[in-house]
């Protein structure tokens, strides 16, 4: 079993370079010259129409209340922790700058059951755990609800062995604000 926590914190500068290599190999090169529909159809290994709490997921999203939101992410990278069949609640990692995403994952991996994950496991996450992160209170402001009816793609399930790459990728797609504006706003809360 691989200790993913050690991999994530091994060498952040090197991780960023490896993140781009991972993105190039797994996303950009396969997508060259393809429509989004064909790319999603041809790359189903990590796709699903269903999610489970504790997975890391990415997907296309069009918020129902986008007209009233100050900003929103149309390609969330989330750790879902609850669902009721119509919606799910998740931590959208994109609302944190990459450095703070690493800190959050470190805190989650400090929970005994999460110390080692393989690609068949999920992370133990709940609202109670998130509320307890007093030294990273901004995490509470990253908790968002998403309506299943507003999901615009299959879910991409990120295997735990790839989390170390994906958390560094600038794949957030904020509307109405820049990344820096969103991250500064999250840190002020």
Give the length of the chain.
189
Number of helices (H), then strands (E), belonging to the chain: the values are 8, 8
Q: What three-state secondary structure class fits 96? A: coil
pLDDT in tens, 7-52: 555 555 666 677 667 666 665 555 444 444 444 444 455 677 889 9
Query: Of the ranges 19-33, 41-55, 64-78, 85-99, which one carries the lowest mean pLDDT score?
Result: 19-33
Return the DSSP state at 153: S
The structure's pTM equals 0.78
The tokens describing 135, both together, are 């030294």
Task: Name the β-bridge partners of 92.
Answer: 78
Six token digits for residue 104: 């959050």
* Runs of H (alpha helix) within the chain: 4-9, 12-23, 29-31, 36-42, 98-109, 127-131, 163-166, 179-188
**pLDDT at residue number 16:** 64
């Amino acid at each position: 079993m691989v200790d993913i926590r050690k991999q994530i914190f091994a060498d952040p500068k090197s991780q960023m370079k490896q993140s781009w290599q991972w993105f190039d190999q797994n996303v950009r090169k396969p997508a060259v010259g393809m429509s989004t529909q064909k790319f999603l159809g041809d790359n189903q290994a990590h796709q699903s129409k269903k999610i489970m709490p504790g997975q890391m997921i990415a997907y296309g999203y069009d918020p129902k209340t986008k007209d009233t939101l100050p900003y929103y992410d149309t390609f969330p990278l989330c750790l879902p922790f609850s669902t009721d069949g119509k919606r799910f609640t998740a931590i959208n990692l994109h609302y944190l700058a990459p450095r703070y995403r690493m800190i959050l994952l470190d805190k989650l991996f400090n929970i005994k059951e999460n110390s080692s994950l393989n690609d068949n496991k999920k992370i133990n996450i709940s609202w109670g755990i998130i509320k307890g992160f007093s030294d990273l209170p901004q995490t509470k402001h990253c908790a968002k609800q998403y309506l299943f009816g507003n999901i615009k793609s299959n879910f991409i399930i990120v295997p735990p062995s790839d989390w170390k790459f994906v958390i560094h990728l600038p794949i957030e797609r904020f509307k109405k604000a820049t990344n820096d504006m969103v991250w500064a706003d999250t840190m002020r809360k």
